[in-house]
Amino acid sequence: MKLVFAIVQDEDSPRLITALMDEGLGVTKLASTGGFLKSGNTTLLVGLDDDKLDLCLGLIEKTCKNRRQIATSQMPLSGAGTMYAPYPIEVTVGGATVFVLSVDQFVKY
């Protein structure tokens, strides 16, 4: 048995949850926040049999695509001390960070 931790962007999570459930895979959704852009992420926990792992990973890869978006960074103003001006930068968002753990025991009460 495996436990999959998939950290995905909030925008991708509804489609991924639907895709996983359509394949009969149970999923638990946890709200989380990313460190770099401080934007909303969703951490999904999927417990599954070993033979379903490739299916799960394929759904994650298909659903969670990278894309570019504009984010605002802070740029210090020269000679102004601690004043900062917003500065737009293009960043890659989306995709998924996935951890797969082996499960020694599973109990459901």
What residue numbers bound the domain in which 55 lies?
Answer: 2-77+85-102
Residue 38 belongs to a domain: yes
Residue 20 belongs to a domain: yes
In the predicted model, is pLDDT for residue 9 greater than 60? yes
Q: Token pair of 59, please?
A: 């759904």
Residue 23 belongs to a domain: yes
pLDDT of residue 76: 67
Residue 107 belongs to a domain: no
| Tally of domains in the chain | 1
Task: Report the SS3 class of residue 89.
Answer: strand
pLDDT of residue 65: 83
pLDDT of residue 77: 65
- Angle, CA of 28, 91 and 59, to the nearest 5°: 35
Q: How far apart are CA 33 and CA 51, in angstroms?
A: 31
- Stated as kind and residue range, the H or E segment containing 14 is helix 13-22
Residue 109 belongs to a domain: no
- CATH label of the domain that carries residue 95: 3.30.70.120
**What is the separation of C-alpha 56 from the centre of its chain, rounded to a whole number of angstroms?**
14
Higher pLDDT, 80 or 23: 23
Instruction: Please count the other Cβ atoms lying within 10 Å of the Cβ belonging to residue 3.
Output: 14
pLDDT of residue 35: 60
26-67 pLDDT per residue, tens: 999 998 876 655 567 899 999 999 999 999 999 999 999 877
55-100 pLDDT per residue, tens: 999 999 999 987 776 767 666 666 656 777 677 777 666 689 999 9
pLDDT of residue 36: 55
